[in-house]
Amino acid sequence: MKHAAIIACWIAVLFTGTFLRFDELSKRPFHADEATGARLTAARMESGDYRFDPLHYHGPTLSRLTMSLCQIRGETSWQEMTKTTPRLLTASAGVLLLLVPLLWRRRFGDGPMLLAAAFLATSPLLVYYSRMFIHESLLVLFGMLAMVSLTRAPRWGIPGLLIGLMFATKESFAISMIAWTGAAVMVALENHKQLDRAWWISAWREYRVPVATSLLTAALVAGYFYTDAFRLPRGAIDAVRTFFVYETVAGHDKPFGYYFNLLALPGKSGGVWWFGTPAAVLALLGFALGFRRPVVRFIAYAAAGHFVIYSLIAYKTPWLACLPWAHVCLLAGFSVAGFSGRRLWLKTALCLLAGTCLVTQFTQARRASGRLASDARNPLAYVPTRAEIETLAPWLEKLRHSAPGNSLEPVAVIGTDYWPLPWYLRSFEKIGYWPLPPDDLASMPLVFAMPETAETVANQLRQSHTLLPRGLRAEVPVILFVRNDIWNQWMLTGK
């Protein structure tokens, strides 16, 4: 009966995590970063070629794995891609993350690991960004697997395989390596009395081959992806160059305490209270109650190290906290380790905290990925796309019937920072993007102007086009100009 109950609980956790990540997965509008990633994937799929850009983009695993998934689903071009397919990859990675605590089940017991999996399953931060086609979900999965493998007896180069996948996913894997190294050093210093000369000799003999194997494996795995299966050696050089030349986008600088305010302090917005306070408190309790376990201290120090490093970096976005927060969720599970031997008041407090955490996390996750999924009042919806953009392509298809020859091409987009607009205009074959308006702009049936060029374009098209304001991203409009002959026909026919 006990085993059946445990299995039932694991199934319930997996079902909940899967539901939160897959329910209405394609409903939310594409984020600008998702659209950029989809374009890179489509370009790679259509050309059969890949060149890693160390200046502006992250590692190649996301596009490589998504490309295979698209081909399986019969989406072999930019026009054929759907929102669902690329998000299936990241959502699946989010579900697989819930199985990571199972690797420690025999070592630390069902209770702590089951609770850790439940926290991972319902975390609003992890749920929201598992539903988004960006690199973070893969990085969290590979990162948590790597951390677990590093705390087990190293065999067969598995840590190297996972670290290589992290490197091939995103350059920020280096922050995890620094945090884990710092955590290991702190644990070693705390246990320095046990680490005598005989211990170091024994460790050298036991670990030298696995460590060397892991380092070689990490290099080969990362190199495989960056060089497109070793076809382009330059990719390996660019993979290293990216740490020195990568250019962050302006406008994302945040104060030191940004992540603390986002995840630990309660705040109300959009009619919802947003907070991860119970999980943070349980993580602190897990650290305090399990302090004698070196692994617990390692996780705690690693989580703190991640947050300190990310907080010191001016560039901040919510999704950068996903891997550190996964550490927190895992650490929070240790709060119930040795539960049966605790005093009654502590048992009661732990049960209340854990229950509150799961209920509030589930509620926030549903709100964050539901009605507030693309709402600026959602603190997790960073620079969200306006929901009304979803109506653009269907409306343009209707408008097309009012155009001469049933064609709205060529289309012009004037300005910069226009993503995710290209995703919603991908059905057009003749479309151009200019930072400044070209001389023949007045002849074009459709013109989209970004805010910085809207006045200039409006003056140039004052006599030839009708101006229609549209929404693109939060507080970022786009102005659509429809040529007068098309607009007048549309107004006459109403279709």
Q: Answer yes or no: do 459 and 333 share one domain.
A: no
Q: Answer yes or no: do 300 and 354 share one domain.
A: yes
What mean pLDDT do residues 207-227 have?
89
Expressed in angstroms, the distance from the first to the final Cα of the chain is 65
Q: If pLDDT is split at 50, 70 and 90, which confidence band does 56 have?
A: confident
- In the numeric block, the tokens 């999965």 are attached to 141
CA 346 – CA 331 distance, rounded (Å): 17
Q: If pLDDT is split at 50, 70 and 90, which confidence band does 123 have?
A: very high
| Residue 381: alpha-carbon gap to chain centroid | 12
Kindly tell me if the per-residue pLDDT of 287 is higher than 60: yes
Kindly tell me if the per-residue pLDDT of 153 is higher than 70: no
Share of the chain above pLDDT 70, in %: 98
Tokens of 302: 């690693």
Q: Answer yes or no: do 403 and 349 share one domain.
A: no
Kindly tell me if the per-residue pLDDT of 463 is higher than 80: yes
Q: Answer yes or no: do 404 and 361 share one domain.
A: no
Tokens of 363: 């509620």
> In which domain, by residue range, is 207 found?
2-369
Kindly tell me if the per-residue pLDDT of 249 is higher than 90: no
CA 140 – CA 406 distance, rounded (Å): 47
- Tell me whether residue 398 is in a domain: yes
Tokens of 394: 């269907």
Annotate 392-425 with b (16+ C-beta within 10 A) or e (fewer). Answer: beeebeebbebbeeeebebbbbbbeebbbbbbbb
Relative to beta strand 411-414, strand 431-434 is parallel
Model's pTM, two decimal places? 0.94
Q: Answer yes or no: do 222 and 262 share one domain.
A: yes
DSSP bridge pairs for 277? none
DSSP string, 23-88: TTTTTSPPPHHHHHHHHHHHHHHHHS-----TTT---SHHHHHHHHHHHHTT--STTT--SHHHHH
Estimate the crossing angle of helix 136-150 against helix 61-72, to 10 degrees: 110
- Tell me whether residue 335 is in a domain: yes
- Tell me whether residue 377 is in a domain: no
DSSP bridge pairs for 481? 447, 467
What mean pLDDT do residues 224-239 have?
92
Mean of per-residue pLDDT scores for the chain: 92
Per-residue model confidence as pLDDT tens digits over 299-313: 999 999 999 999 999
CA 165 – CA 89 distance, rounded (Å): 15
Per-residue model confidence as pLDDT tens digits over 379-426: 999 999 999 999 999 999 999 988 888 999 999 999 999 999 999 999
Neighbours of 16 (CB within 10 A): 19
Give the H/E segment covering residue 484: helix 484-493
Share of the chain above pLDDT 90, in %: 80
What mean pLDDT do residues 171-194 have?
90
Write down the H helix ranges in 425-467. Answer: 454-460
pLDDT at 257: 94
- Tell me whether residue 116 is in a domain: yes
Kindly tell me if the per-residue pLDDT of 315 is higher than 60: yes
Q: Answer yes or no: do 224 and 320 share one domain.
A: yes
What mean pLDDT do residues 367-373 have?
94
Which residues does 145 contact at the CB level (< 8 Å), separation at least 6? 100, 103, 162
Q: Answer yes or no: do 304 and 426 share one domain.
A: no
Q: Would you say 99 and 341 are in contact if contact means Cβ atoms under 8 Å apart?
A: no
Specify the length of the chain in residues.
495
Q: Answer yes or no: do 359 and 392 share one domain.
A: no
What mean pLDDT do residues 127-156 have?
91
pLDDT at 495: 55
Tell me which residue of 382, 365, 435, 447 sits closest to 408, measured CA to CA: 447
Q: What's the count of helices (H) and strands (E) in the chain, helices before strands?
A: 21, 7
What mean pLDDT do residues 167-195 have?
90
Phi, psi torsion values for 382, nearest 5 degrees: -80, 120
Which residues does 390 contact at the CB level (< 8 Å), separation at least 6? 29, 424
- In the numeric block, the tokens 């979900």 are attached to 137
Neighbours of 459 (CB within 10 A): 9
Q: How far is CA 455 from CA 98, 127, 411, 465, in A?
A: 51, 40, 19, 13
- Tell me whether residue 6 is in a domain: yes
CA 151 – CA 142 distance, rounded (Å): 15
Relative to beta strand 446-449, strand 476-483 is antiparallel
Kindly tell me if the per-residue pLDDT of 40 is higher than 90: yes
Q: Answer yes or no: do 78 and 7 share one domain.
A: yes
Q: Would you say 303 and 268 are in contact if contact means Cβ atoms under 8 Å apart?
A: no
Exposure of 442 in the CB half-sphere (CA atoms within 13 A) = 8
- Tell me whether residue 45 is in a domain: yes
Kindly tell me if the per-residue pLDDT of 15 is higher than 70: yes
- Tell me whether residue 380 is in a domain: no
- What domain count does the chain have? 2
Q: Answer yes or no: do 241 and 274 share one domain.
A: yes
pLDDT at 156: 73
DSSP string, 334-374: GGGTTGGGS-HHHHHHHHHHHHHHHHHHHHHHHHHHTTTTT
pLDDT at 129: 97
Per-residue model confidence as pLDDT tens digits over 345-356: 999 999 999 999
What amino acid is encoded at 114 in this protein?
Answer: L
Under the phi-then-psi rule, with left for phi > 0, alpha for psi from -120 to 50, and beta for the rest, what region is 53? beta
pLDDT at 207: 78
Q: Answer yes or no: do 109 and 208 share one domain.
A: yes
Per-residue model confidence as pLDDT tens digits over 266-286: 999 989 999 999 999 999 999
| Residue 216: alpha-carbon gap to chain centroid | 28
Omega within 30 of 0 (cis) for the link into 318 = no
Kindly tell me if the per-residue pLDDT of 205 is higher than 80: no
> Last residue of some domain: 334, 369, 404?
369
Q: Answer yes or no: do 353 and 397 share one domain.
A: no
- Tell me whether residue 28 is in a domain: yes
pLDDT at 3: 86
What mean pLDDT do residues 59-77 have?
94
